Chain A
Amino acid sequence: MQQIIKKGISFSFFLFYITSSAIAQEQSNSKNAGELHGNFQTDIQYYNTDTLIGAPIVPEKVRMNGFANLTYTRDKISAGLRYESYLNALQGFDPRYKGNGIMFRYVDFNNDNLQVTAGSFYEQFGNGLILRSYEERGLGFDNAFDGFRLKYTLLKGIRLTGFIARQRSFFEYGPGIVRGLDGDVSLNEIIEGLAESKTKLFFGGSFVSKYQQDQDPIYKLPENVGAMSGRAKLISGGFSLNAEYAYKINDPTATNNLIYKPGDALFLSAAYSQKGFGATFSAKRIDNMDFRSDRASTGNNLNLNFLPALTRQHTYNLAASIYPYASQPNGEVAFQGEVIYTIKKGSALGGEYGTTVIGNYSQVFGLDSTTSFDGHGYSSKYGSVGQVYFKDFNIEIQRKLNANLKMTLFYANFVYNKDVVQGLRGYGTIYADIFIADVTYKINKKNAIRTELQSLTTKKDEGSWATALVEYTIVPSWFFAIMDQYNYSNPVLEKRLHYPIGIVGFIKNATRIQLSYGRQRAGIFCVGGICRLVPASNGLTLTLSSSF
Chain B
Amino acid sequence: MPSVDVKTMDGKTFNTSAIANDGKPIVMSFWATWCSPCKAELNAIAEVYADWQKETGVKLIAVSIDDVRNADKVAPYVNGKNWEYEVYLDTNGDFKRAMNVNTVPHTFLINNKGEIVWQQNASQPGDEEKIYELVKKLAKGETIN
Q: Provided the pairs A124-B92, A280-B72 are in contact, do residues A507 and B126 lie with their beta carbons within 8 angstroms?
A: no
- Checking B68, B81, B105 against A340 with a beta-carbon cut-off of 8 angstroms, the contacting residue is B81
Interface residue B141 (Cβ < 8 Å from any Cβ of A):
no
Interface residue B86 (Cβ < 8 Å from any Cβ of A):
no
Interface residue B93 (Cβ < 8 Å from any Cβ of A):
yes
- Checking A69, A122, A526 against B100 with a beta-carbon cut-off of 8 angstroms, the contacting residue is A69
Bound CA span A547–B38, Å: 18
- Checking B3, B76, B125, B130 against A278 with a beta-carbon cut-off of 8 angstroms, the contacting residue is B76
CB contacts (< 8 Å) of B82 on chain A: these are 275-276, 342
Residues 494-545 of A contacting B (Cβ, < 8 Å)? 505, 507, 509-512, 524, 526, 528-532, 545
Interface string of B71-109 (1 = CB under 8 A from A): 011011111111000000001111001111111111000
Bound CA span A128–B93, Å: 13
Can you list 26 residue pairs at the A/B interface with Cβ under 8 Å?
A: A69-B100, A71-B98, A110-B3, A122-B93, A124-B91, A184-B13, A240-B72, A271-B73, A277-B79, A306-B68, A308-B67, A313-B34, A315-B35, A315-B36, A338-B73, A475-B124, A475-B125, A476-B130, A507-B121, A507-B122, A509-B118, A529-B105, A530-B37, A530-B103, A531-B38, A532-B103
Q: Provided the pairs A278-B77, A356-B81 are in contact, do residues A127 and B68 lie with their beta carbons within 8 angstroms?
A: yes
CB contacts (< 8 Å) of B55 on chain A: these are none
Nearest CB in chain A: distance from B64 CB, A: 13
Total interface residues in chain A, CB < 8 Å: 84
Interface residue B142 (Cβ < 8 Å from any Cβ of A):
no
CB contacts (< 8 Å) of B125 on chain A: these are 440, 442, 448, 450, 473, 475
Interface residue B129 (Cβ < 8 Å from any Cβ of A):
yes
Nearest CB in chain A: distance from B130 CB, A: 6
Closest to A135 in B: B93
Bound CA span A440–B41, Å: 12
Q: Is the CB–CB distance between B92 and A531 below 8 Å?
A: no
Bound CA span A242–B7, Å: 14
Interface residue A309 (Cβ < 8 Å from any Cβ of B):
yes
Bound CA span A450–B125, Å: 9
Known: A473-B124, A510-B106, A510-B121. 9 other contacts (CB 8 A): A38-B100, A69-B97, A271-B76, A273-B75, A278-B73, A306-B67, A308-B67, A341-B80, A548-B100
Interface residue B23 (Cβ < 8 Å from any Cβ of A):
no
Interface residue A261 (Cβ < 8 Å from any Cβ of B):
no
CB contacts (< 8 Å) of B98 on chain A: these are 71
CB contacts (< 8 Å) of A476 on chain B: these are 120, 124, 127, 130
Closest to B37 in A: A529
CB contacts (< 8 Å) of A342 on chain B: these are 80-82
Total interface residues in chain B, CB < 8 Å: 55
Bound CA span A334–B98, Å: 34
Closest to A159 in B: B13
Q: Is the CB–CB distance between B101 and A547 below 8 Å?
A: yes
Q: Is the CB–CB distance between A442 and B126 below 8 Å?
A: yes
CB contacts (< 8 Å) of B91 on chain A: these are 124
Q: Is the CB–CB distance between B11 and A202 below 8 Å?
A: yes
Q: Closest 9 A-B residue pairs measured CB to CB?
A: A278-B76, A340-B80, A308-B69, A278-B80, A448-B125, A529-B122, A273-B79, A39-B100, A547-B100
CB contacts (< 8 Å) of B72 on chain A: these are 240, 242, 269, 271, 280, 282
Interface string of A218-258 (1 = CB under 8 A from B): 00000000000000010100101010000000000000000
Closest to A201 in B: B11
- Checking B13, B75, B101, B124 against A186 with a beta-carbon cut-off of 8 angstroms, the contacting residue is B13
CB contacts (< 8 Å) of B99 on chain A: these are 37
Q: Is the CB–CB distance between A531 and B37 below 8 Å?
A: yes
Bound CA span A137–B33, Å: 19
- Checking A233, A308, A338, A406 against B76 with a beta-carbon cut-off of 8 angstroms, the contacting residue is A338
